[in-house]
Amino acid sequence: DQQVKQNSPSLSVQEGRISILNCDYTNSMFDYFLWYKKYPAEGPTFLISISSIKDKNEDGRFTVFLNKSAKHLSLHIVPSQPGDSAVYFCAASATRSGYSTLTFGKGTMLLVSP
Amino acid sequence: DADVTQTPRNRITKTGKRIMLECSQTKGHDRMYWYRQDPGLGLQLIYYSFDVKDINKGEISDGYSVSRQAQAKFSLSLESAIPNQTALYFCATSDSRLAGTTGELFFGEGSRLTVL
């Protein structure tokens, strides 16, 4: 049973527009959420995170929103740039346990066209 | 130089062969992980180790084994490789001092394994 779901395998956006990547989770124990970005032939790299005590976290062009009641989070990229084209993974952990590992979604491939 | 180094980066082998993928890190992190990526399936956890004497199975440990030789080294073995183990394998590290706040993993560049 998939605990972290990214239902859109791909997303195409024009340069300068907003990209919105969505993620849903089922495990109510998850209290920390992260987004990773992956280019071809490279390992995933950390992008932005959010704790369950917040509903928004912003870092430059990247903003993550968390809706705990809906068990949903989204990553907004504004404005989108061609260099943002990559696979984005949503991940979640239950940090209060102290022995938590990250559970990843299947990823969404973002293509930003000029 | 990469903080998390995986060797080999690419390997082609035959069914039934024993394969070892190695991971070393210079980040000084205590926790290390092995993930597998298949197209459309995201990253699945194979094994993880929270310190040198700690080994834990992940979601998909069958057919794999690991060894934590030192805090900086974590190897993944396929005792008898089979074609459905063809995948991209990632080693990752994290720092337990940050685990309660970030849970952030740092990944290597990946090892592409093809089993014929």
Instruction: Evaluate if residue A59 carries a pLDDT over 60.
Output: yes
Confidence of residue A95 (pLDDT cuts 50, 70, 90): confident
**In this predicted structure, what is the pLDDT of residue B39?**
81
- Chain A's closest residue to B90, CA to CA, is A43
Residue B99 has pLDDT above 80, yes or no: no
Task: For chains A and B, count residue pairs whose Cβ atoms are closer than 8 Å.
Answer: 62
Which chain A residues have a beta carbon less than 8 Å from that of B102? 32, 34, 49
Residue B107 has its nearest CB partner, among A9, A43, A98, at A43
CA distances from residue B103 to A103, A111, B11, B83 in whole angstroms, order as listed: 11, 28, 30, 33
Lowest mean pLDDT among A110-114, B103-107, B111-115: B103-107
Give yes or no for residue A54 having a pLDDT over 60: yes
Task: Check residue B34 and give its pLDDT.
Answer: 97
User: Which residues in chain A touch residue B41, judged by CB atoms under 8 angstroms apart?
Assistant: 106
Whether the per-residue pLDDT at A13 is higher than 60: the answer is yes
Average pLDDT of span B86-93:
96
Q: What is the mean pLDDT of chain B?
A: 92
Q: Is the pLDDT of residue A12 over 70?
A: yes
Spatial separation of the C-alpha atoms in residues A100 and B98, rounded to whole Å = 12
* Cα distance between the two ends of chain B: 32
Interface check A47 vs B, CB under 8 A: no
For B101, residues 6+ apart whose C-beta sits below 8 A from its C-beta are A32, A51, A95
Chain A: give the shortest CA distance to residue B43, in Å. Answer: 6
Interface of B with A in 15-34 (CB under 8 A): 33
- Residue A72 contacts B, CB cutoff 8 Å: no
Helix (H) and strand (E) counts in chain A:
0, 11
Using pLDDT thresholds of 50, 70 and 90, give the confidence band for residue B104: confident
The reply to whether A99 touches chain B by the CB within 8 Å rule is yes
Chain B, residues 60-89, CB within 8 A of chain A, namely: none
Taking the CA of residue A10 and the nearest CA in chain B, the distance in Å comes to: 11
Helices within A5-67 (DSSP H only): none
In this prediction, residue B40 carries a pLDDT of 79
Average pLDDT of every residue of chain A: 93
CB-based contact B40 A46, cutoff 8 Å = no
* pLDDT over 60 (residue B101): no
* Rounded Cα distance, B72 and B51, in Å: 10
Find the range with the poorest average confidence among A14-18, A109-113, B49-53.
Answer: B49-53
A104 touches chain B (CB under 8 A): yes
Does the beta-carbon distance from B103 to A95 stay under 8 Å? yes
